[in-house]
Copies of this chain bind each other. A is one copy, B any other.
């Protein structure tokens, strides 16, 4: 065993109207804009020290361009890239700054789920805006929901079993929970590297599909603040504030102006590598997703349209 992937680093999301999307992510979500090019905007949660955890890219439609995981050591990047190649998947390597502003060393490949995945080492650190000497508890210019940091990403793919095996066997993720179909295949899986209930999760659906990216908030009362903020700005709220059965976490779902689903999430639990995964049966899927109502509507199970 070795240190491997540290955590989810960032997501790159497509938006047809970059100005509108940027205004939303800054004013409503309360992310911090750290950089800007003609067709990309770079954002981060206020307490993140890295240059970005969200890249908005000007595109004809919405959806996910890719996601990145943070790796601390270049030797670990090499080791993991070799494991991916051994699994039969082509990996391309990129130098710092080659693919994105402030990006580090990157090993890029297409996962079996159809998603572009980056393993990144050495993205530039820009600090969280607080002094390193006698800091106040928070900056004084926070706006909107202002989550401190990215938490997890939830994706769709055709073959959840195969994708899960790849993330466990090759990328060294651990399975925390799964929703099993009556026929024995996995409808959804939850995988972690940070000992939280999930850093990434997969749900049965079209390959390359994007369900949501989630930012962390500290507690249940922050979800009310988030929902109030969405309501105030006329943002389309999809579900919540509510609690999930799977992960035991609480969240609020809503859509950016392009139609990408966002979540702010809190709660969950600590997962030791020798803890046993939890299994949900197909008949209890509604409660696995929404613990209180116990039902999932069709809109939630699909990408937005």
Give CA–CA (A49, B269) in the complex, Å.
Answer: 11
Of A54-62, A81-89, A107-115, A215-223, which binds chain B?
A215-223
Chain B neighbourhood of A49, CB < 8 A: 272, 274-276
Minimum CB–CB distance for A218 against chain B, Å: 6
- A227 at interface by CB-CB < 8 Å: yes
Q: Are B137 and A231 in contact (CB under 8 A)?
A: yes
Minimum CB–CB distance for A201 against chain B, Å: 17
Minimum CB–CB distance for A98 against chain B, Å: 20
Give CA–CA (A73, B274) in the complex, Å.
Answer: 11
Q: How large is the interface on A (under 10, 10 to 19, 20 to 34, 35 or more residues)?
A: 35 or more
Minimum CB–CB distance for A109 against chain B, Å: 23
Q: Of B127, B132, B288, which contacts A279 at CB under 8 A?
A: B132
Interface hub of A134, A195, A293 (most chain B Cβ within 10 A): A134
Minimum CB–CB distance for A277 against chain B, Å: 7
Q: Are B1 and A73 in contact (CB under 8 A)?
A: yes
Q: Of B232, B274, B284, which contacts A134 at CB under 8 A?
A: B284
Give CA–CA (A2, B73) in the complex, Å.
Answer: 10
Give CA–CA (A232, B127) in the complex, Å.
Answer: 19
Q: Are A132 and B232 in contact (CB under 8 A)?
A: no
Q: Of B132, B232, B274, B281, which contacts A276 at CB under 8 A?
A: B132
Q: Are A133 and B272 in contact (CB under 8 A)?
A: no
Q: Are B137 and A277 in contact (CB under 8 A)?
A: no
Minimum CB–CB distance for A133 against chain B, Å: 5
Of A15-23, A31-39, A204-212, A235-243, which binds chain B?
A235-243
Chain A, residues 264-305, CB within 8 Å of chain B (1/0): the string is 001101101111111111001001100111100000000000
- A245 at interface by CB-CB < 8 Å: yes
- A158 at interface by CB-CB < 8 Å: no
Q: Are B224 and A1 in contact (CB under 8 A)?
A: no
- A168 at interface by CB-CB < 8 Å: no
Give CA–CA (A261, B21) in the complex, Å.
Answer: 41
Q: Are A6 and B291 also in contact (CB < 8 A) when A137-B232, A220-B219, A243-B228 are? A: no
- A76 at interface by CB-CB < 8 Å: yes
Give CA–CA (A17, B135) in the complex, Å.
Answer: 29
Seen from chain A, the residues whose Cβ lies within 8 Å of a Cβ on chain B are 1-3, 6-7, 47, 49-50, 70, 72-73, 76, 125, 127, 130, 132-138, 140, 148-149, 194-195, 216, 218-221, 224, 227-228, 230-232, 237, 239-243, 245, 248, 250, 266-267, 269-270, 272-281, 284, 287-288, 291-294
7 closest Cβ pairs, A-B complex: A219-B219, A221-B221, A134-B284, A227-B292, A49-B275, A237-B292, A1-B3
Extra inter-chain contacts (14) besides given A49-B272, A138-B248, A148-B269, CB under 8 Å: A47-B270, A49-B276, A70-B272, A125-B275, A125-B276, A132-B276, A133-B281, A134-B279, A137-B228, A140-B232, A149-B269, A221-B221, A239-B293, A241-B292
